Amino acid sequence: MPLLPRSRAGRARSTTARCSTTPDTDIRLFREVAELGREFELVGDAVLGARTPARVALLVDWASWWAVEMSDGPNRNVRHVGVPAAYHRALWQANALVDVVPVTADPGRYDVVVAPLLHVVKGDLADRVAEVVLRGGTFLTTALSGRVDEDDNAFLADVPGPFAGLLGLRVEETDARQPDVVDPVVPSGTAHEARHVFEVVVPEDAEVPATYGADFCAGTPAVTRARRGAGSAWYVATLLDDGGVGAVVDGVLAEHGPAGPLADVPDGEVVERVAPNGTRYAFVLDHGAERVVTCPFDGVDLLTGRQLRSGTTWRSPGPPRSWSAAREPVDVLRSAHRRPRRNTIPPKTEFLRDNHSNRHSGNSFGRLRPRRAPHTIQLCGMQPGAFLRLRW
């Protein structure tokens, strides 16, 4: 596997994601990449052409991003990219397989469509989303959605415009506050913080899973759910903190069960791939500390040929140490060096945030990558299947 050296000039000169300008192979970065290449060689072409069988779509719209942040209201403190990132983070933590797609994509292939802060509604998007709900799917959107058309002109109808009938509500009032103003929202027995935008919602035939807990909007709906056909449509009338977003997403996923295995393991990520011949593979990445994890499916170790059964345990590597194979049913690939994570945000979400932040400059990937501890990647196939462990 090739290793890119740092350049002598330009921005790539100072990136820390590459080796030094000297041909030194006795460094941690070189050893880890070489080991990763060796493991890929053992895997061969088993996973070539595999695709993600995602059942959840996260709609991201550039026009909505521009419209929200270029507008003088209702709140200039709202940063659009952070809202889809928060919902993606909640889906990621639930190990739900997600496709991040534009609003022009066909939502009909998904069971759940999540569209946070979908300010601009283009063409027949509302009709296409309604078809998903009527056939048994679930739609989730948030405050400031359904406000304008593709020309940034307000709809001549109650907010949320073309989504009003599907969501079973109308927004009577939109209140904007300073960032330090917090209103508690209780979607699942625990109070979560809401900030920036507080919409006063009048439900028509929608259920109310959560309400505001303070100020003039106390007792009014903060989260609604409308049953339509065989499916449902959810609306979050404010901008919740990560805990609140996670509680709402858990409720949405519970309607279909697309949350992946090990969803209850903090910082444990499971991603599935399906090969052209139908073989299913699962990558299990540990972003947390050392712990014992239970294998959630049957499979075969691609690197060793070891047969695994559901319920088998393996120990994910924490700080460097050794284990006896007699103690653990599954041998564990150990990391030669491991640094603790400095944050709990998934790396891909962190990149998304930093790439669009005026507080940073330079190569975001080169700056952030050293913060990431080497991960263990485990790949397990089902019927027929295989199991792979790689270090990231």
For residue 370, the model assigns a pLDDT of 34
Integer-rounded Cα Rg, in Å, for the chain is 23
pTM: 0.76
For residue 20, the model assigns a pLDDT of 61
The mean pLDDT of 247-263, rounded to a whole number, is 86
For residue 319, the model assigns a pLDDT of 35
φ, ψ dihedrals at 216, nearest 5°: -65, -20
Q: Which two tokens stand for residue 257?
A: 């069960």
The mean pLDDT of 335-362, rounded to a whole number, is 35
pLDDT tens-digit readout, 257-266: 767 788 887 7
Tell me the CATH number of domain 56-254, given options 3.40.50.880, 3.40.50.720, 3.30.2020.30, 3.40.50.620.
3.40.50.880
For residue 346, the model assigns a pLDDT of 38
For residue 250, the model assigns a pLDDT of 93
Question: Can you give 45-60 as a three-state secondary structure string?
Answer: CCCCCCECCCCEEEEC
Residue 45, pLDDT above cutoff 60: yes
- What H or E segment, with its residue span, contains residue 70? helix 62-70
Lowest mean pLDDT across 31-45, 212-226, 311-325, 343-357: 343-357
Residue 208, pLDDT above cutoff 80: yes
Give the chain's largest Cα–Cα span: 70
For residue 298, the model assigns a pLDDT of 83
**Strands (DSSP E) found in the chain:** 56-59, 98-101, 112-115, 138-142, 169-176, 183-185, 192-203, 207-211, 221-228, 231-236, 238-240, 268-274, 280-286, 291-294, 299-300, 307-308, 313-316, 376-382, 387-391
Q: What confidence tier does 293 reach under pLDDT thresholds 50, 70, 90? A: confident
pLDDT tens-digit readout, 120-164: 999 999 999 999 999 999 999 999 999 999 999 999 999 999 999
For residue 330, the model assigns a pLDDT of 29
Distance of CA 308 to the CA centre of its chain: 28
- As a whole number of angstroms, the distance between CA 49 and CA 388 comes to 17
Question: What are 274's strand-pairing partners?
Answer: 51, 280
Residue 171, pLDDT above cutoff 80: yes
For residue 389, the model assigns a pLDDT of 41
Round the average pLDDT of the chain to a whole number and report it: 77
Task: Kindly report, as residue ranges, where domains of CATH 3.40.50.880 are found in the chain.
Answer: 56-254
Residue 66, pLDDT above cutoff 50: yes
SS3 208: strand
pLDDT tens-digit readout, 87-101: 999 999 999 999 999
For residue 21, the model assigns a pLDDT of 57
Q: Which two tokens stand for residue 215?
A: 């100020």
